[in-house]
Amino acid sequence: MGVLIDDLVTKGGEEPYRMFTSRAEFRILLRQDNADLRLTPRGRDIGLVSDHRFEIYTQKKTLVESLIRFLREYSVSPDEISGYLKSVDSVQITQKRKLYELLLRNEVTISGLIDAILPLRELISPDAYTSEIIEEAELQVKYKGYIEREKHIADKLTRLENIRIAADFDYNSLNSLTIEARQKLSRVRPSTIGQASRIPGVSPADINVLLIYFGR
């Protein structure tokens, strides 16, 4: 919904519009499966989340973190894991490796490790560690690099959103901007540098010109 609204403000009106989930700039961060982990604390802060609902959130968060911590700390020997690695056609290890490191491989899954590693199987209680919790832990491990990169980009964009542009700013006075950028910016009238950066036809070079002009 946020992408839709932002697109209609910055891009709408020029051509027929179709909404695709792939247009979300931070679709790895803003996944539907982690919506409760992202939004429950915010809902709690404004009084929309009951004690019971918050307790469910807290338990899920704790179990996900506990499972990831075990994967980080527990090492397996080549003998312990060789059968499983062979079954999924993964390269064998020659010395002890953390389960976390093995899970980074595409073909290795937590469910497969649970079947292969007894201590991990003993940790997982079917009543507590639901498939939802196991899946969330696996996604956080496998996509950690991508998630951190998107967080970095999101933080940068947030800083750009904090740089305001006056509603009556004269873009035509900046000769360093391309003609297309001046036309698009004058028509859309973005309220922040962040919004300006999402306008088609406004290049990163144009954004740098604005940042220099505004002393950033």
The mean predicted confidence, pLDDT, of the chain is: 90
User: Which band of pLDDT confidence, cut at 50, 70 and 90, is reported for residue 154?
Assistant: confident
| Residue ranges making up the domain that contains 102 | 34-142
Return d(Cα 142, Cα 30) in angstroms, integer: 16
Find the mean pLDDT for residues 108-135. Answer: 93
Range with the lowest mean pLDDT among 125-129, 130-134, 140-144, 159-163? 125-129
In a domain, 38, yes or no: yes
pLDDT in tens, 46-85: 999 999 999 999 999 999 999 999 999 999 999 999 999 9
Long-range contact list for 133-137, CB < 8 A, 24+ apart? Answer: 133/60, 133/63, 133/64, 133/67, 134/67, 134/110, 135/33, 136/33, 136/34, 136/37, 136/60, 136/64, 137/64, 137/67, 137/68, 137/71, 137/110
In terms of domains, do 88 and 121 share one? Answer: yes
Rg (alpha carbons) of the chain, rounded to whole number: 24
Q: Which residue has the tokens 């809902």?
A: 43
In terms of domains, do 121 and 61 share one? Answer: yes
In a domain, 147, yes or no: no
Tell me: pLDDT of 124 over 70. yes
Q: How many domains would you assign to the chain?
A: 2
pLDDT of residue 1: 73
pLDDT in tens, 195-207: 898 888 898 899 9
Residue pair 213/185 in contact by the 8 Å Cβ criterion: no
Return d(Cα 189, Cα 9) in angstroms, integer: 10
In a domain, 29, yes or no: no
In terms of domains, do 39 and 138 share one? Answer: yes
Q: Which two tokens stand for residue 180?
A: 């297309």
* Distant-in-sequence, close-in-space partners of 83: CB < 8 Å, separation ≥ 6: 116
In a domain, 42, yes or no: yes
How much is the pTM?
0.74
CATH assignment at residue 208 = 1.10.150.570
Tell me: pLDDT of 14 over 60. no
